[in-house]
Amino acid sequence: MSDRIAGSVTKSSGCAQCVWHADLEHNEWNYVTRGETETQHLDRNFVELLQEMRVVQTGVQILFAFLLGFAFTSRFPTLDDTQRALYLVTLLFGALTAGLLIAPVSHHRMLFRRRLKPQMVRSAHRLVSAGLVCLLLTLAGAVQLAASFVVGPWAFAVAGVLAAVIAVMWWGVPVWQLHRHHHVAR
């Protein structure tokens, strides 16, 4: 029996992208479908990673600047001990987020022309992934701190719901798509 019925793919075989050249390793698939060598593939991955970092970097810098500036406002002395602790933790996560997202640029400068592109792409991927986790924590902390002025003890619930929604958008949906389409990186 054919996997395709009237031009559509059956549920058992998955989507067309899942089954098209499914027997090929990732590098072979890139070569067959894109005509890309391993070096071109690494270059493209690094450029895509830098583009993704550009999307978040400005927002991270603005959020971090806001957090730094908040300590010098007239409202800061009115914070209770819990709010001050949350502020400090959020500020530190903001700094760590910025550091993690800037690190791949530093790695590139340090490793430029050293023929270490595979290692650089892998480490940049890990750094940006960790930066996104820290960004989520920074966003939740900043919202919790601001919400504590507005809704008091409900602020933790507000920040928790926000963190859950962002986590679903950032990681839940992609994991669902991987599971739904049976794409496996080889």
pLDDT single digits (tens) 70-103: 999 999 999 999 999 999 999 999 999 999 999 9
* Pair of tokens at residue 9: 């793919």
Residue 101 confidence (pLDDT): 94
Residue 128 confidence (pLDDT): 94
Given a cut of 80, whether residue 120 has pLDDT beyond it is yes
Given a cut of 60, whether residue 2 has pLDDT beyond it is no
* Pair of tokens at residue 24: 């090929």
pLDDT single digits (tens) 126-143: 999 999 999 999 999 999
Residue 30 confidence (pLDDT): 61
Which residue do the tokens 């794409």 mark? 183
Residue 180 confidence (pLDDT): 84
Q: What is the phi/psi pair of residue 77, to 5°? A: -65, -15
pLDDT single digits (tens) 139-165: 999 999 999 999 999 999 999 999 999
What SS3 string covers the chain?
A: CCCEECCEECCCCCCHHHHCCCCCCHHHHHHHHHCCCHHHHHHHHHHHHHHHHHHHHHHHHHHHHHHHHHCCCCCHHHCCHHHHHHHHHHHHHHHHHHHHHHHHHHHHHHHCCCCCHHHHHHHHHHHHHHHHHHHHHHHHHHHHHHHHHHCHHHHHHHHHHHHHHHHHHHHHHHHHHHHHHCCCCC
Given a cut of 90, whether residue 4 has pLDDT beyond it is no
How many other C-beta atoms can be found within 10 angstroms of the C-beta atom of residue 120? 20
Q: What is the mean pLDDT of residues 27-41?
A: 73
**Residue 3: band (very low, low, confident or very high) from pLDDT cuts 50, 70, 90:** very low
